[in-house]
Amino acid sequence: MNDVVAVICSTADPASLNIAKHLLLLASWDNIGNYRTFRNFRLIIQEASQLTLNSLDERLKSLGLSPGMIVIASRHKSDSRIPWLGGHFTGKIENRKYELSTAAPAGLRSFLINICRIALAGYRISAEATHHGPSDIVLPSFFAEIGSCEEQWSDPNAGETVARAILNLDNRTLPVFLGFGGGHYVRRQTSLMFEANIAFGHLFSSYQLTYFDRELLKTAKSKSGANYAFIDRKSLKAKERDELTSILDEINLPLLRSKEIRTRFPI
Mean pLDDT of the chain: 94
Model pLDDT, residue 256: 98
Instruction: Name the band, by pLDDT with cuts 50, 70 and 90, for residue 155.
Output: very high
What lies within 8 Å, CB to CB, of 27 at 6+ separation is 38, 39, 41, 167
Residues 142 and 185 in one domain: no
Residues 236 and 128 in one domain: no
For residues 158 and 182, the answer to whether their CB atoms sit within 8 Å is no
Model pLDDT, residue 51: 66
How many domains, the chain? 2
Residues 63 and 167 in one domain: yes
Mean pLDDT of 203-207: 94
Residues 115 and 45 in one domain: yes
Supply φ then ψ for residue 181, to 5 degrees.
Answer: 95, 165
Residues 105 and 211 in one domain: no
Give 71: exposed, middle or buried? Use CB within 10 Å, 0-12, 13-18, 19+: buried
Predicted structure pTM score: 0.96
For residues 210 and 256, the answer to whether their CB atoms sit within 8 Å is no
What CATH number should be reported for the domain holding residue 235?
A: 3.40.50.10700
Q: What distance in Å separates the CA atoms of residue 125 and residue 113, rounded to the nearest whole number? A: 9
Q: What distance in Å separates the CA atoms of residue 73 and residue 166, rounded to the nearest whole number? A: 9
Q: Where in the sequence is the domain holding 228, given as residue range(s)?
A: 174-267
Residues 166 and 249 in one domain: no
Q: What distance in Å separates the CA atoms of residue 170 and residue 114, rounded to the nearest whole number? A: 9
What lies within 8 Å, CB to CB, of 74 at 6+ separation is 10, 13, 15, 16, 50, 143, 144, 145, 146
Judged by DSSP in three states, 150 sits in helix
Give all strands (DSSP E) within the chain, no chain letters.
5-10, 30-31, 36-38, 41-46, 69-77, 84-88, 91-94, 97-100, 124-127, 141-148, 176-180, 199-204, 228-231
Which one of 143, 171, 199 terminates a domain? 171
Residues 87 and 43 in one domain: yes
pLDDT tens digits for 165-190? Answer: 999 999 999 999 999 999 999 999 99
pLDDT at 47 over 90: no
pLDDT over 70 for what percent of the chain?
99
Mean pLDDT of 124-140: 94
pLDDT tens digits for 66-98? Answer: 999 999 999 999 888 999 999 999 999 887 789
Supply φ then ψ for residue 14, to 5 degrees.
Answer: -60, -35
H or E stretch covering 250: helix 238-250
Residues 141 and 184 in one domain: no
Which one of 171, 194, 221 terminates a domain? 171
Q: What distance in Å separates the CA atoms of residue 60 and residue 68, rounded to the nearest whole number? A: 12
Q: What distance in Å separates the CA atoms of residue 169 and residue 187, rounded to the nearest whole number? A: 21
What CATH number should be reported for the domain holding residue 29?
A: 3.40.630.50
Residues 135 and 193 in one domain: no
Residues 90 and 73 in one domain: yes
Residues 159 and 189 in one domain: no
Which one of 133, 152, 171 terminates a domain? 171
